[in-house]
C-alpha cells in the first residue's frame, strides 16, 4: 500500500496571473473567507457564489466549521470556473480574513500570486501581499452596528476582482430582499463602505479579474437537498430522522417538501425510534427513508437488520462523517463502507449505492426506493460530508429520469384473484408479492423471526435454508438492476482510477491534469458498492495495468472489499487513502498516481 498523500506544491491552474495590475482573467478562481463562527463568513461565500453564477460560472463552495453554534475558527471557500467543477481548488487566490488566526490558517493555502484582504480592527499583518481595512470599525462608526462588516468585506472583494458595481449590489438586494427594510438598507450601505475603502487604497482595484462563463442553465444545490428532492419525486412519503451533522438538512428540506404532497416527516426521539418509525410506515405501505450519520447508523443497526430479515423495504441515507464514535462531526470521511457492508448480526441482503454528484443523488435516491420495494430489503445511500453539504452548480434535475416501480405490490383488485395470500411466498422471481395492512380480505404476519411463507415463526431446517437462500439470492438476482458505474477517460489508458462519492470531483480534475502531462487514465466511478459490481469491475481491471483505489479512510475499505471479491486481480490494486478530515485535492492525487504508476 502507498502511504496517504500529503499536500504537494503542484499547482494545477493554467491561467495564473503575473504579478502586478491588470492581470489576465482567471478562468478558475478561489476565494477563502475565514474568521470566527458568527463573523458571517458563510454570508460572504453565499454572496460571491451568487455573483459568480450571474456571470455564467460554475461554482463550488465548501465550509469548514466547528461543531458549535458560535465562535471558533470557521472558514468557507468559493470556487468559480468556466469549466464544470466538483471540488475545492488546490490553492486560494484571494483570502479574506476577519482575524489573525484566519490569516495564519489561510496563508498556507495561498497561491504564489495570491492576495490577502483582512479586517485590521484588531491586528495588523506584516505580510507583503496583504491589505487591511478596519471593516468592523468603519461599519460600526457609520451604521451603529459592526455586524455588517462581512458585507463591507464583500464590497472590498468586489473591487479587487473588478466586479460590475450594479450586479454586485443586485446580489445584496437578492439575498436580503426577503428580510427587506433596515437589513437590506444597512447591508447596501455596508457594501458601499467596503467598496469605497478598497477603491481609495493604492493598487487594489482590478488586481484580479474573472472571466465570464456560459453556465447559465445550472442550478445551485447540495447532495442533501438533491437526496430530499429525489425522495419526494421518487414517491417517498414518510421520513423519520434525528438531527445529526451532516445529515440534518435532508430532514429539514423534507419538512418543507413533503407535506404539500401528502407526506409526513417526523423528528423522532432518537435514531432507534426513527428507524422503527420508518419500518412501521413501510410495513403499512408507504415509501420511506431516514437519513443519519455514523453514530446514528450504529443505533439504527438493529432496525436495519429487521428490515433485512422481515423483508421490509427501507432506504437509509448515510451522510458519512469522520468516525469512529463522535469523531469529527463536521469533517469529511468515507469510513462507513465496511460497516454498511457487514452491518448487523446474522446475514441479510442489502444494496449500497454511492452517488457522486447532485444529479446522482436525485436520481439514485428515487431508484433506491424502487430497489427497496422491488426486492424488499434495506437500501443504503452512502454519501459523504463534502457531497452532502458543499454547494455546487449542477445540471437541472430531470423528472423524466425518474420511474416508479413498486415491484410485486398487490392492489386490492389483485388480491381478490388470489387463492392464498402469503407475504413470504416462494416464487420464481425470488420476490414475494406484498399487500399492506388495510387491503380488504387479507392479512399477514410480518416478523424478523425466521418464518415460513405465511410469516409464522418456524425452526424447520429445510424452511430455514430455503428462506435464507430466498433472501440472500436477492443480491445476485438484482445485480443487473443496480446503478451502473461510469467510466471517464480513454478506454486505451493503462492506468485505472477507482473511486466513489465526492472523490468524483478531484479525480476528474486529476485526470485532466495528468492528461496535460501526457498521462492517460481511465476512471471507474463506482455507483453500486455492494454487492460489488464485479461484472463491471472485472473487465475494467483487466483493461488496465494498475488501478488506484481512491478513498477517504485509513484501511482502504473499498480496496479491501475489491480484493476480497476479486482475489485474482489483487495485484493490480493500489490503495490511495486520506483520513485527515479534508477532501482530496487534484494535485495530491496527481502526485500519488504519477509516483505510484
Partner 1 sequence: MVQSAKPVPPIWCPGCGDFGVLAAVKKAALEQKVAPHDLVLVGGIGCSGSIHNFLEVNGIHALHGRLLAQAIGVKLANPALTVIAAGGDGDGYAIGMGHFLHAFKKNASIVYLVMNNETYGLTKGQPSPTSQVGFEGNIEQPFDAILTALSIPAPNFIARTFSGDPKTMTAVLSEAIRFTREGHGFAFIEDLSPCVTYNDTYKLWREKVQDLSKLPGYDPTDRATMFRLCLEAQAAGRIPIGVMHRPAQPGRDGLETKVVGSGPGPARAEMDLTANAAAYQKLLAALG
Residue closer to partner 1 by CB (options 65, 442) is: 442
Q: How many residues does the chain have?
A: 597
Cell 421490509, residue?
312
29 CA to centre of own chain: 22
CB of 97 to partner 1, least distance (A): 30
Residue closer to partner 1 by CB (options 128, 440) is: 440
* C-beta atoms surrounding 507 within 10 Å: 29
Please, are residues 278 and 289 in contact by the beta-carbon 8 Å criterion? yes
Please say whether the dihedral angle defined by the alpha carbons of residues 564, 566, 572 and 576, taken in this order, is positive or negative: negative
Run of H or E residues at 126: none
**Phi, psi values for residue 586, rounded to 5°:** -50, -45
CB of 570 to partner 1, least distance (A): 39
Q: Could you tell me which residues are beta bridge partners of residue 319? A: 383
* C-beta atoms surrounding 442 within 10 Å: 18
Residues 279, 185: Cα–Cα separation, whole Å: 50
Residue closer to partner 1 by CB (options 74, 286) is: 286
Residues 540, 53: Cα–Cα separation, whole Å: 37
Query: Of the candidates 357, 437, 371, which has an alpha carbon nearest to the alpha carbon of residue 404?
Result: 371
CB of 394 to partner 1, least distance (A): 9
Q: Could you tell me which residues are beta bridge partners of residue 7? A: none
CB of 452 to partner 1, least distance (A): 9
CB of 573 to partner 1, least distance (A): 39
With 0-12 / 13-18 / 19 or more C-beta atoms within 10 angstroms meaning exposed / middle / buried, residue 208 is buried
CB of 416 to partner 1, least distance (A): 7
CB of 331 to partner 1, least distance (A): 27
Non-local CB neighbours of 473 within 8 Å, separated by 6+ positions: 349, 430
CB of 139 to partner 1, least distance (A): 29
CB of 174 to partner 1, least distance (A): 10
The edge-to-edge listing of strands for the beta sheet with 28-36 is 130-133, 110-119, 92-97, 28-36, 73-81, 58-64, 391-395, 218-221
Residue closer to partner 1 by CB (options 229, 322) is: 229
Query: Of the candidates 258, 266, 265, 251, which has an alpha carbon nearest to the alpha carbon of residue 232?
Result: 258
CB of 261 to partner 1, least distance (A): 6
Residue closer to partner 1 by CB (options 65, 369) is: 369
Please, are residues 152 and 138 in contact by the beta-carbon 8 Å criterion? yes
Residues 446, 309: Cα–Cα separation, whole Å: 10
Amino acid at each position: 500500500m502507498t502511504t496517504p498523500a500529503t499536500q504537494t506544491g503542484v499547482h494545477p491552474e493554467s491561467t495564473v496571473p503575473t504579478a502586478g495590475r491588470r492581470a489576465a482573467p482567471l478562468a478558475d478562481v478561489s476565494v477563502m473567507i475565514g474568521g470566527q463562527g458568527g463573523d458571517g463568513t458563510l454570508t460572504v461565500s453565499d454572496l460571491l457564489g451568487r455573483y459568480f453564477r450571474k456571470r455564467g460560472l460554475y461554482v463550488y463552495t465548501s465550509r469548514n466549521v466547528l461543531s458549535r453554534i458560535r465562535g471558533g475558527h470557521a472558514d468557507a471557500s468559493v470556487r468559480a470556473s468556466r469549466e464544470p467543477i466538483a471540488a475545492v481548488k488546490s490553492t486560494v487566490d484571494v483570502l479574506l480574513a476577519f482575524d489573525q488566526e484566519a490569516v495564519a490558517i489561510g496563508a498556507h493555502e495561498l497561491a504564489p500570486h495570491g492576495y490577502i484582504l483582512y479586517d485590521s480592527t484588531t491586528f495588523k499583518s506584516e505580510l507583503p501581499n496583504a491589505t487591511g481595512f478596519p471593516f468592523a470599525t468603519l461599519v460600526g462608526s457609520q451604521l451603529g452596528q459592526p455586524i455588517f462588516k462581512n458585507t463591507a468585506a464583500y464590497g472590498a472583494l468586489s473591487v479587487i476582482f473588478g466586479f460590475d458595481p450594479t450586479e454586485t449590489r443586485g446580489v445584496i438586494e437578492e439575498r436580503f430582499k426577503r428580510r427587506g427594510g433596515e437589513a437590506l438598507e444597512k447591508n447596501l450601505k455596508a457594501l458601499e463602505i467596503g467598496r469605497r475603502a478598497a477603491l481609495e487604497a493604492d493598487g487594489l482595484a482590478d488586481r484580479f479579474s474573472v472571466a465570464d462563463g456560459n453556465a447559465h442553465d445550472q442550478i445551485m444545490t447540495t447532495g442533501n437537498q438533491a437526496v430530499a428532492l429525489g425522495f419526494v419525486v421518487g414517491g417517498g412519503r414518510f421520513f423519520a430522522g434525528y438531527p445529526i451533522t451532516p445529515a440534518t438538512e435532508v430532514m429539514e428540506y423534507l419538512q418543507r417538501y413533503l407535506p404539500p404532497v401528502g407526506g409526513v416527516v417526523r423528528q423522532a426521539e432518537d435514531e432507534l425510534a426513527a428507524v422503527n418509525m420508518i419500518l412501521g410506515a413501510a410495513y403499512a405501505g408507504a415509501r420511506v427513508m431516514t437519513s443519519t450519520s455514523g453514530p446514528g447508523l450504529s443505533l439504527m443497526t438493529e432496525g436495519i437488520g429487521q428490515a433485512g430479515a422481515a423483508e421490509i423495504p427501507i432506504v437509509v441515507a448515510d451522510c458519512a462523517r469522520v468516525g469512529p464514535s463522535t469523531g469529527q462531526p463536521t469533517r469529511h470521511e468515507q469510513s462507513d463502507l465496511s460497516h454498511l457492508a457487514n452491518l448487523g448480526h446474522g446475514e441479510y441482503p442489502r444494496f449500497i449505492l454511492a452517488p457522486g454528484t447532485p444529479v446522482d443523488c436525485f436520481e439514485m435516491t428515487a431508484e433506491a426506493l424502487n430497489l427497496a420495494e422491488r426486492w424488499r430489503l434495506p437500501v443504503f445511500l452512502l454519501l459523504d460530508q463534502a457531497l452532502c453539504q458543499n454547494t455546487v452548480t449542477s445540471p437541472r434535475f430531470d423528472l423524466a429520469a425518474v420511474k416508479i416501480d413498486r415491484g410485486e405490490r398487490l392492489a386490492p383488485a389483485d388480491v381478490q384473484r388470489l387463492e392464498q395470500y402469503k407475504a413470504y411466498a416462494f416464487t420464481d422471481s425470488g420476490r414475494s408479492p406484498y399487500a399492506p395492512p388495510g387491503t380488504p380480505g387479507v392479512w399477514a404476519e410480518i416478523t424478523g423471526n425466521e418464518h415460513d411463507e405465511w410469516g409464522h415463526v418456524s425452526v424447520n431446517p429445510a424452511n430455514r435454508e430455503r428462506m435464507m437462500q430466498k433472501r440472500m439470492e436477492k443480491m445476485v438476482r438484482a445485480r443487473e438492476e443496480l446503478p451502473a458505474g461510469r467510466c471517464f477517460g480513454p478506454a486505451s489508458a493503462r492506468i485505472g482510477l477507482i473511486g466513489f462519492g465526492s472523490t468524483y470531483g478531484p479525480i476528474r480534475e486529476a485526470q485532466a491534469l495528468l492528461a496535460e502531462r501526457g498521462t492517460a487514465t481511465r476512471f471507474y466511478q463506482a455507483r453500486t458498492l455492494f454487492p460489488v459490481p464485479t461484472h463491471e469491475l472485472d473487465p475494467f481491471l483487466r483493461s488496465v495495468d494498475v488501478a488506484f483505489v481512491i478513498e477517504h479512510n485509513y484501511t482502504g475499505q473499498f480496496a479491501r472489499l475489491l480484493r476480497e471479491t476479486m482475489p485474482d486481480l489483487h495485484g493490480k490494486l493500489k490503495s490511495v487513502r486520506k483520513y485527515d478530515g479534508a477532501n482530496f485535492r487534484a494535485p495530491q492525487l496527481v502526485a500519488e498516481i504519477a509516483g505510484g504508476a
